[in-house]
Amino acid sequence: METTQYCRQVLDEINNVFQQVDNNQCEALAQTLRSTPRIFLTGMGRGSLSIKAFAMRLMHLGFEVFVVGETNTPRLHSGDLLLMASCSGETGTSVHLARKARQAGATMALITASPHSTLAGMTDMMVYLPAKNIGENKPVTTRQPMSSLFEQSLLLFGDALVLQLMETCSVSEADMFARHTNLE
């Protein structure tokens, strides 16, 4: 098969994921993002790359955001939001961070492919992206290895949420570009 055929197959798989996403979950997360003073984001593995891309765009939108584990990440307080991305919902580091966030009184949100996971049971809200988890025999059709479908869907979900936030917060691309780094 040619590369472009694989690309079409991947796009079809991603489209299938988004046909199943619950818009009420998405809206609850968008509302929480708009009303939270500080947002902390975390993910592990390739999911961390997707969540960091979302963190960057939230910063461009004017939100106060931090990526957990970076040297400039401040103390989490009551009223802050910890937004976690975890395909399995069982990643040990993420579960540990959720416990710490609960102790601090923060609100917790999860984007996951595993709605019945440990993390899902610990969070205040969840967005379920129905994608295959590593080593899982779920009725999700994908040719892609491991959790690639989740990571791709996570990246696109973040970008779509940014579009929604641009509209609801009346932020233009020019406003966002004014916050773009000038140290490049």
Nearest to 64 by CA among 35, 39, 89: 39
Instruction: Determine which one of 2, 64, 151, 173 is catalytic.
Output: 151
Does the annotation count 151 as an active-site position? yes
Residues 6+ apart with CB under 8 A from 172: 166
Answer left, alpha or beta for residue 77, where phi above 0 means left and psi between -120 and 50 means alpha.
Answer: beta
Three-state DSSP class for 144?
coil
φ, ψ for residue 25 (rounded to 5)?
-65, -40
Alpha helices in 36-126 (DSSP H): 46-61, 92-104, 118-122
The two tokens of residue 100 are 């710490």
Half-sphere exposure of 75 (CA within 13 A, CB side): 5
Which residues does the annotation mark as catalytic? 151
